[in-house]
Chain A
Amino acid sequence: MFRQLLLCSFLCLFVASCKREERKFSQPPAQFKSYDVTMSDVHPGSTGVQQPVKSASDEHAYDTNEGKRLFTQYNCSGCHANGGGGMGPPLMDAQWIYGSNTENIYSTIVEGRPNGMPSFRQKIPDAQLQQIVAYVKSMSGQLRKDVEPGRTDDMNARRSEQRTERKTPQQTTAPPQ
């Protein structure tokens, strides 16, 4: 009996191979469109509240690390260096001007935003966008600690994402001054 139980649990572990370590080199495109994203909590009529989109990349350590690489290589650091707060709004704090859900961040990158955020529509493939979105969420500690990236081999101005404490997102309605 004991032996059978052991074998069973071992098989379960084996079959459910660790999600965190999955590496998908070709990802399917996003299932939502950036312009379908709502910015407000108030919904007329009785249309149900949209459930936030769950992105698989949020649980893949490979994707958050790729997002971190792409953040630098696509020059997001140009305005959001070291977490932002210089030229562009900070991304490592709790204030989210345009929403903190996956589809909100995705929309922000694809559409662009007033006062300087460029639109990356058709410039960044969907698969990479999902990785960048996952990374942006990790900058404020929103993801599980074992999924968030560690330090890079650069000069490090602040703690790595995996050592950043979680900052509960707060929505502000005012765009940055």
Chain B
Amino acid sequence: MSESQKAQKTAEAAEVSNFTISEEELAAAMERERGELEKTWARPTGVWGWLTDTDHKAIALRYIVTAFIFFVLGGLEAALMRIQLARPNNHFLSPDQYNQIFTVHGTTMMFLFAVPIMTALGIYLVPLMIGARDVAFPRVNLFGYYVYLIGGILLYAAFFLNTGPDAGWFAYVPLSSAYSPGKRVDIWAQMITFTELSALAGAVVIIGSVFKMRAPGMSINRLPLFVWAQLITSFMIIFAMPSVMLASGLLASDRLIDTHFFNPAEGGDPILYQHLFWFFGHPEVYIIFIPGLGFISPIIVAFARRKIFGYTAMVLSLISTGFIGFGLWVHHMFATPIPQMGQSFFTAASMVISIPTGVQIFCWIATLWGSRLNLKTPLLFVLGFFWVFVLGGLTGVMLASVPLDLQIHDTFFVVAHLHYVLIGGAVFPLFGAFYYWFPKWTGRLLSERAGRLNFWLMFIGFNLVFFPMHQLGLNGMPRRVYTYLPETGWSTLNLIASIGAFILASGVLVFIINVVWAYRAGMVAGDNPWAAESLEWAVSSPPPNFNFHNIPVVQGRYPLWEGIENAPVVRGLSTTKREALVTSVMDAQPELRFEIPGPSIWPLMVALSAAVMFIVGIFTPWAILTGAILAGIALTCWFFGDPNYENHTARETGKKSPTISPVSRPPELQPKEI
């Protein structure tokens, strides 16, 4: 370096270190910036605005409300089933009605409630927890929501028109191919395609956001466990969903265009369907369960007032659960003529997967041990999880054994097991998450008293419904029966289960009342009512549209507990364009500024074209061509149209506030010039 260059550098450094600004000027400049950011990130209004809004929080809340409506509908179907089964030889429902109801109940809960609501909480909270202004692909996010909505409406419109599927939520062939007349199963198959697309869209959005949009300083080993869970789930979705797409697609093809994939007389195989379905179906339950694990960690950390015990072990457990989850699927097929040696590998894998889950449970207990715990509702639901899920997991180990499974497979024992693990492992943590994050979403706390009532009604009701089912399965009661004879002796336990169902339902009702009441009249929450540690609690409740005005440089795994007040912040992102900071995958080093697309109508258009293609395609093959052309046009407009990231007012008037230069900081902490 020459002498003159060295002199120039010294002079610049001196200029920088001597630059000062008064407190008032700083505050005024921040206000101006904030105002511009609010204008740039403003959400569109009116009906058009509702159709085009790509704000991740708005989309997530829509997902949550829609999924909860489906949860209630699925619960009503369950209530109808329990009424029918309360007495032997009951005539409340005809067999055809009952078969449609249990199929739609399973399909609703698995596809229209469980996966979307987990995605929803991820879409809301992941950008906030990683310190990003938005998700990586907001329009894909919106597209995912529309496709989900269309799929759900398709199923329920069909159900109300007596065209609801009646072959079970997994629709084994040949019952669902050659022995299901009409369009019922075709509607089911196409609805599967819609919810897969939606899940894949959500998965892509989350992976892109988590890998590339984290705040500087949030290296991969500082990622909150909630975000780890969502990331792993998203990878599982990408590997699992294509399998069910294939299963339902081949089924639709066998039904509509005379293919023979599952026709044994022409060289096909009914077991092929089972393999394809369960290769998805088993990871599917982990896709539902792992985000639930992700809810529990932040709640335990906040209430135990401690860092999580064994963070590395927890992360590795989540990863191994996700990975091993793909190696279990044949345990749904132990009664088929698959050779015993092969089946035994799946017994081993099904047992091994309880080890990482066990590690997680032990680490949580270790975190809670000895800490001063305030038993608020979120923590109550976490404790409920321990009871319910551990019981369910243990019955799972029983089912993993091939010979024992041959007795209890396809009986009410399995119904009990699956509800214990799904409700225990996903719904209880979910309700805990609702009570924990409702203040962040709405600015108000849910009522504690109602919350406790909610928990106890759900806990007692749930155990009353499903615990007797273990005994019923051992007593010989198979699944999916619309009635039973009085001589079987199953009446008493069934009656108890039916009574429990209404107690469980009343718990959910208390929750709904709590939400409706607290939305307007709940205690105002403030930014961080739980004094928790992750970044979403650093912003207001509810957060501003742009999430963070000044993105902090994260100092540790528990940002708000590890000196966020004195941390540097990211400066230089535009206030007149929607911009986000893209960072590297492992160490979150800033790499570039990325323009985030704004509101757009094209996701809706592509979703509607897909609807034409798949729904009308059940009735005529011409719809597939039409829909594909429409989708092509809409996609072209999506990709090549204006992404709408600019604040047009600012561009037109030419007014822009000067950005504030770095203030009184040592050179090494200044953000790099990009």
Contact = CB atoms under 8 A, between A and B. Distances in A.
Q: Is there a contact between chains A and B in the complex with CB atoms less than 8 Å apart?
A: yes
Given A14-B160, A23-B96, A153-B177, A61 B182 contact: yes
Interface centre among B157, B161, B619, by most chain A C-beta atoms within 10 angstroms, is: B161
B162 interface: yes
A151 B254 contact: yes
A150 B258 contact: yes
Interface in A23-75: 23, 61-62, 64-66
Nearest to A17: B162
Given A62-B181, A151-B263, A156-B266, A18 B161 contact: yes
B550 to A, nearest CB: 43
A21 B254 contact: no
Interface centre among A151, A154, A162, by most chain B C-beta atoms within 10 angstroms, is: A151
Nearest to A20: B182
A80 interface: no
Given A14-B160, A150-B178, A159-B258, A21 B184 contact: yes
B259 to A, nearest CB: 8
Contacts of B161: 13-14, 17-18, 21
A4 interface: no
A145 B619 contact: yes
A152 interface: yes
B222 interface: no
A83 to B, nearest CB: 15
B509 to A, nearest CB: 24
A151 B182 CA distance: 12
Nearest to A144: B619
A64 B181 contact: yes
B176 to A, nearest CB: 11
B257 interface: yes
A146 B178 CA distance: 14
Nearest to B161: A18
Given A13-B161, A22-B162, A150-B256, A155 B183 contact: no
Interface in A81-122: none
B260 interface: yes
A8 B265 CA distance: 48
Interface residues of A, number: 27
B258 A153 contact: no
A21 B163 contact: yes
Interface of B: 96, 157, 160-163, 174, 177-178, 181-184, 254-258, 260, 263-266, 619-620
Interface in A140-174: 145-146, 149-156, 159-160, 162-163
A62 B178 contact: no
A152 B257 CA distance: 12
Given A21-B184, A153-B265, A146 B163 contact: no
A50 to B, nearest CB: 31
Nearest to B160: A14
A151 B657 CA distance: 70
Given A20-B182, A23-B96, A156-B265, 9 more contacts: A17-B162, A20-B183, A21-B162, A146-B619, A151-B178, A151-B263, A155-B266, A156-B260, A159-B258
A3 to B, nearest CB: 13
A127 to B, nearest CB: 16
A74 to B, nearest CB: 18
Contacts of A18: 161-163
Nearest to A159: B258
B258 A65 contact: no
A125 B257 CA distance: 33
Contacts of A21: 161-163, 182-184
Contact of A150 (B157, B162, B255, B264): B255
Contacts of A23: 96
A15 B379 CA distance: 46
A23 B162 CA distance: 10
Contacts of A62: 181-182
B96 A153 contact: no
Contacts of B162: 17-18, 21-22
A154 B265 contact: yes
Nearest to B174: A153
B261 to A, nearest CB: 11
Contacts of A149: 181
B181 A61 contact: yes
A158 to B, nearest CB: 9
A153 B264 contact: yes
Nearest to A64: B181
B258 A156 contact: yes
A75 B254 CA distance: 25
30 contacts: A13-B161, A17-B160, A17-B161, A17-B162, A18-B161, A20-B182, A22-B162, A61-B183, A65-B181, A66-B181, A146-B183, A150-B177, A150-B178, A151-B178, A151-B258, A151-B260, A151-B263, A152-B178, A153-B174, A153-B265, A155-B265, A155-B266, A156-B258, A156-B260, A156-B263, A156-B266, A159-B258, A160-B258, A162-B256, A163-B258
